[in-house]
Structures are given as structure tokens and as C-alpha cells.
Amino acid sequence: MSTIHKFAGKANDYQWEDVSIREYGDEFAGVTRQVVIGREEDSNNFHLRYFRLEPSTHSNLERHPHEHGVLILHGRAILQLEDTFTEVGPQDAIFISGKDLHQFVVKGDQALGFLCVIKAK
């Protein structure tokens, strides 16, 4: 069934109605995820997620089979893709191939926020 989650956030603090904010736990304190479109919306082909990383935090350094489409909404980070490190910021669009080692490390004193699209599992 089609669904609309109305935007309920503000600049650099994105939230949507009826979408829970999930924290990652101690190792990743200051990192949250919202599944804007996913299983709850019966999305069979893709999931759209919003990640927020507070200053001085980072995402997991990971490698997995699925690819990602990422769009930076706010903040800046150093993105590691395999052995390459690149600064990324607002409106940068990133494709992360499956099995590529990757990690976002927040740069500066503003939170990093980005949308991430993955294939539904």
C-alpha cells in the first residue's frame, strides 16, 4: 500500500511522521537511523534510510555484498572507499559498490545527515 511520511524535522535535523529513530548503541553513540521507506511500507525493491552522525562520530567500517546510493543532505565527512579518502558534503551523490570497504567519519562541528538507498532484502 502506498504511504506518505510527512517531513516533521527542520534544517539539519531531519525527521518524518510515523518513522522511528533508532540508535546504534554504545560503540556508535551519536549515530541514528530512520527507515523512511522499508518493510513497514511493503517496499519490495528498495529501502530508503536517513542516517544522522553527530560531530566526532563515524559509521561502521564495513564491507558487504549490497550496493548503496547515498545523497548527503547536511554536514561534511571524510568518506573512505577502499584505500581512498575523499571529503564529501551537501548535495554530493555517492555510489558504493557491493563489497567495497567504506566508512563515513564526520568532519567539523556539524552533524552529518544523508539518505541511503539499498536493495530490499
Locate the domains of the chain by residue range: 27-119
Tens-digit pLDDT profile for residues 36-70 = 999 999 999 999 999 999 999 999 999 999 999 99
116 flagged as catalytic: yes
User: Can you give the pLDDT at residue 7?
Assistant: 93
Judge whether 36 and 5 are in contact, CB under 8 Å: yes
Q: What percent of the chain has pLDDT over 90?
A: 87
What is the C-alpha to C-alpha distance for residues 47 and 90, in angstroms, rounded to an integer? 21
User: Can you give the pLDDT at residue 89?
Assistant: 97
pLDDT in tens, the chain (121 residues): 788 999 998 888 899 999 999 998 777 789 999 999 999 999 999 999 999 999 999 999 999 999 999 999 999 999 999 999 999 999 999 999 999 999 999 999 999 999 999 999 8
**Residues linked to residue 92 through DSSP beta bridges, in sequence order:** none
Q: Of 23, 116, 117, 118, which is the active-site residue?
A: 116
User: Can you give the pLDDT at residue 11?
Assistant: 85
The topology (CATH level 3) of 27-119 is Jelly Rolls (2.60.120)
What is the C-alpha to C-alpha distance for residues 49 and 114, in angstroms, rounded to an integer? 8
